[in-house]
Amino acid sequence: VVETRDGTIAVASAFPGHQEAVQDRDHKFLSKAVEEAYKGVDCGHGGPFGAVVVRNDEVIVGCHNMVLNNTDPTAHAEVTAIREACKKLGKIELSDCEMYASCEPCPMCFGAVHLSRIKVHPLPYHSSSGTIWFIESLINNLVECCNAEAGVRSQGGSCYCHWIRRLHC
């Protein structure tokens, strides 16, 4: 694992095209999370945030923020996705799953990630330790993630603007 000049993480290629394949996969699932964010805004369920839970390249659940719909301030996309995935898989431990979220998780969602042991993708920026399980470095990641407003997540930012525009029309 190497850190590139712009601070993003690259995984050394095991074979030609490996890195591109990883990026395509991340992009595909992250795009689904962003789609969920837009869906949530368009149906007025809550804030502009989406999350998907993936296992073995299969989307288990795709959820968005449900705070308004459920009248529940804890119904963030990530928490909702963890709840739904646990229900669907019939277990409380998601270490064989990965989560893609349209935005860096807030402290509450970090807590839910920690408790469920789900792995979060893409990797936090500015990390040099490779695949990070949040359970290992919760606080460090929190600091790193608060600074991460770049890259592919700018799509999530566009959804935020979409949400603001809807609020004002």
- Residues found near Zn ion in the complex (CB under 5 A): 76, 106, 108-109
Q: How far is the CB of 159 from Zn ion (least distance, A)?
A: 15
| The one catalytic residue among 36, 78, 98, 104 | 78
CB nearer Zn ion, residue 106 or residue 135: 106
Is 78 one of the annotated active-site residues of the chain? yes
- Give dist(CA 157, CA 55) in Å, integer: 26
Residue 131 to residue 95: CA distance in whole angstroms: 13
Structure tokens at 65: 């923020």
Q: Which strand (E) or helix (H) includes residue 121?
A: strand 119-121
Longest dimension (CA), the chain: 51
Closest contact distance (angstroms) between CB of 57 and Zn ion is 25
Q: Which is nearer to Zn ion, 10 or 108 (CB)?
A: 108
CB of 64 to Zn ion, least distance (A): 12
Count of other CB atoms within 10 angstroms of residue 100: 28
Choose between 59 and 106: whose C-beta lies nearer to Zn ion. Answer: 106
Q: In Å, how far are 10, 25, 120 from 14, measured between CA atoms?
A: 12, 16, 22
Identity of the residue, 65 or 127, whose beta carbon is nearer to Zn ion in the bound complex: 65
Give the nearest distance from C-beta 146 to Zn ion in angstroms. Answer: 13
Q: So which residues are the catalytic ones? A: 78
